[in-house]
């Protein structure tokens, strides 16, 4: 993991800060490995952020063409715990010029792309590749793995997931039951198209784990989702 120093508008080189108003400044990061500063500003025409790169050695902003030519070549990287081949590449997003690291995960013969994931290069922390790739692979392969599980294991999976998300929601000051909604059901159905058939045991087991009334939990779930799960 790489931790980047975040710079304020006042800390930017005068040649750089003079190119845009402070009201358009969003963030800036010292990218020591590049010898540059990456800055995010508001592009009011696009209605999006735009990234510019300032070379400390040249004391000027680099053109998009210069940035693209300086991007590292694609390379295969080893990711512990991932039994596939991972190709790391770098791109500039069209229009915004935001630089991303892209990780393409392929089968061992490179004939099948399993999943592709990425992260912004300019951010407070550039995550270790494994911390980006492993969860992406797990999410991609989960439906096929899930299909092989016993019913009890499927119920336990959803109970653990809901318990975790409810705890995280409560930590933000929101109500735990706020996670219930059609959006949640649609996400669950991407893994199990027939998940509605096991919602009753899922919610009952979740209520037991949380030491609350199963009837009250199921009623709250029904109100928020519009479904009619029987207690």
pLDDT in tens, 115-174: 999 999 988 888 999 999 999 998 888 888 899 999 999 999 999 999 999 999 888 888
pLDDT at 47: 81
User: Average pLDDT in the 76-90 region?
Assistant: 93
pLDDT at 164: 93
Q: What 3-state class would DSSP assign to 155?
A: helix
pLDDT at 126: 87
Higher pLDDT, 32 or 50: 50
Report whether pLDDT(228) > 90. Answer: no
Contact 38, 27 (CB under 8 A): no
pLDDT at 44: 83
pLDDT at 206: 95
Distance between CA 86 and CA 69 in Å, rounded?
22
Q: Is 193 left (phi over 0), alpha (psi -120 to 50) or beta?
A: alpha
Q: Which two tokens stand for residue 15?
A: 């040649």
Q: Which two tokens stand for residue 187?
A: 């996400």
Distance between CA 36 and CA 32 in Å, rounded?
6
Please report which confidence band the pLDDT of residue 215 belongs to, taking 50, 70 and 90 as the band edges. Answer: very high
Q: pTM to 2 decimals?
A: 0.73
Contact 225, 218 (CB under 8 A): no
Report whether pLDDT(227) > 90. Answer: no
């Amino acid at each position: 993991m790489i931790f980047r120093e975040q710079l304020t508008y006042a800390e930017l080189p005068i040649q750089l800060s003079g190119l845009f108003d402070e009201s358009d400044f969003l963030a800036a990061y010292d990218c020591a490995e590049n010898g540059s500063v990456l800055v995010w500003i508001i592009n009011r025409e696009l209605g999006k952020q735009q990234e510019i790169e300032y070379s400390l050695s040249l004391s000027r902003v680099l053109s998009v063409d210069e940035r693209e030519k300086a991007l590292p070549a694609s390379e295969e990287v080893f990711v512990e715990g991932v039994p596939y081949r991972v190709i790391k590449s770098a791109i500039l997003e069209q229009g915004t010029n935001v630089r991303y690291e892209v990780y393409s995960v392929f089968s061992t013969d490179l004939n099948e792309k399993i999943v592709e994931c990425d992260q912004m290069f300019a951010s407070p922390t550039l995550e270790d590749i494994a911390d980006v790739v492993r969860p992406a692979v797990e999410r991609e392969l989960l439906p096929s793995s899930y299909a092989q599980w016993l019913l009890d294991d499927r119920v336990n999976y959803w109970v653990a997931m809901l318990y975790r998300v409810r705890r995280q929601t409560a930590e933000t000051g929101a109500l735990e039951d706020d996670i219930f909604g059609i959006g949640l059901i649609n996400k669950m159905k991407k893994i199990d198209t027939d998940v509605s058939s096991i919602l009753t045991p899922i919610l009952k087991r979740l209520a037991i784990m949380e030491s609350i009334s199963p009837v009250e939990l199921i009623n709250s779930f029904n109100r928020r989702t519009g479904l009619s799960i029987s207690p």
